Chains A and B, each alone.
Chain A
Amino acid sequence: NAGVTQTPKFQVLKTGQSMTLQCAQDMNHEYMSWYRQDPGMGLRLIHYSVGAGITDQGEVPNGYNVSRSTTEDFPLRLLSAAPSQTSVYFCASRRTASSYNSPLHFGNGTRLTVT
């Protein structure tokens, strides 16, 4: 079982460059989300989606775009990378739109460095 697959695992960007972080899940989960993890700050929600064609902002959405054209895929786009976006990014999915008693399944992360 693949679960949640993220690519790439590592990425280095220069300030101003753009890129897309890929996320795919094979569990037919309704909900998908992107978090960033920074030391001492835990996981912060960037964007989330409750189904194909539906996305919404989380706590820290600025500088990021998402789309959900299929149930399986939820790419995260950095439009113009900044050093403040250096972080580890996690994609997570869950079976239902409601979080009640529906745990998140995480990918293994993408470590992004912006110089």
Chain B
Amino acid sequence: TQLLEQSPQFLSIQEGENLTVYCNSSSVFSSLQWYRQEPGEGPVLLVTVVTGGEVKKLKRLTFQFGDARKDSSLHITAAQPGDTGLYLCAGSALKTSYDKVIFGPGTSLSVIP
């Protein structure tokens, strides 16, 4: 059974601070996605990483896929209240199959003005 763990589970920070959330597994993934979910809505894709060691930037958000494709991190620089939400990582195991995407439990981020 493949599992994805996320840490921390909860994070409350002041506006302007930096933070990093982690997504870890003992399994290798062919691709990994990060989603953000706001209250009352469904998750929305932020980024997909597919190559070991890959780094992608989305404004103040930096995503990294581990060299072994078993882990990933999301770093937010100068957090803003609009960054508040639940951050979910999701891994895809195989490149060609009806494989099922596995979700981590999420990191709930609260950015205080």
Contacts and interface: CB of A to CB of B under 8 A. Distances in A.
Interface of A: 4, 31, 35, 40-45, 48, 50, 56, 58-59, 90, 92, 97-101, 103-109
> Which 4 pairs between the two chains have the least Cβ-Cβ distance?
A106-B42, A99-B92, A42-B105, A43-B103
A16 B59 CA distance: 49
Q: Tell me the dominant secondary structure on chain B's binding face.
A: loop
B96 A100 contact: yes
B81 to A, nearest CB: 22
A108 B9 CA distance: 23
Interface string B35-59: 1000011111100101000000000
B103 A42 contact: yes
Which range contains the number of B residues in contact with the other chain? 20 to 34
A106 B95 contact: no
Nearest to A3: B42
A99 B105 contact: no
Contacts of B68: none
A101 B31 contact: yes
Given A99-B92, A104-B101, A40 B9 contact: yes
A103 B50 contact: no
B32 to A, nearest CB: 10
B35 to A, nearest CB: 8
Contacts of A59: 100
Contacts of A109: 40-42
B45 A104 contact: yes
Contacts of B88: 42-43
Contact of A4 (B42, B97, B100, B101): B42
